[in-house]
Amino acid sequence: MSDDAPDESLTSVRSTEAELKELMGLFDAPAFARRGRDVEWAVARTLEISRRQRMEMLEMVHCRLRMWAAATSGYHDWQIAFTAPINYLWQITDAKDPFWSNSTKVRPRVVHSASRDLVSSLERFNKRWEKWVNKLEADTINRQIDHYNKYYVLEKECVVGSAKLAARLFQPVSRIDTDWLFSQFPLIQVPVLK
């Protein structure tokens, strides 16, 4: 036997290994795992789309917040124009923290104008955001969620062989509706002008 001849035992091992890998590639995760992964992805995608849309709608609010901070300069006291603090606006709108200049010259007319513009912008945002959330169609994802809640435990039981083990740690997923979306991305409380 020459050294150049292929060893048949190596060839058969390689072909068996390749066949096993091909066979394993035909199968995916169990149905319950795929169902859970798909629902998780769909909910995360809905949240990301909503977050992007909200940030787009908040651009003018961010602009008005910067203008208000510039108008109040070093004074930056909400009491000049509002009946209550407005610090919460930067956090709830995901706006960058305000930059306060060191100037002590505050023109009340400019501050009141910037304050009115900020309030108008917030009111417009709330109307637009409420309209967008109410128009969001979640029928497809809610159908996925309903199927997940209905079949996940059953499909898992088929794999693990125990209803008790299958139901362990199972948490039903809430349907996506306007209340749920508003809890994730609320309307903004509009400050009251003096």
Residues 6 or more apart in contact with residue 62 via CB below 8 angstroms: 93, 95, 96
Radius of gyration of the chain from its Cα atoms, rounded to whole angstroms: 29
Render each residue's pLDDT in the chain as its tens digit; 194 residues. 555 655 555 445 555 666 655 555 456 678 888 889 999 999 999 999 999 999 999 999 999 998 888 887 755 567 777 888 888 898 999 998 877 666 666 677 888 898 999 999 999 999 999 999 999 888 999 999 999 999 999 988 888 888 898 898 899 999 999 999 999 999 999 999 88
Question: What is the domain partition of the chain in residue ranges?
Answer: 31-184
Tokens coding 187: 């309307």
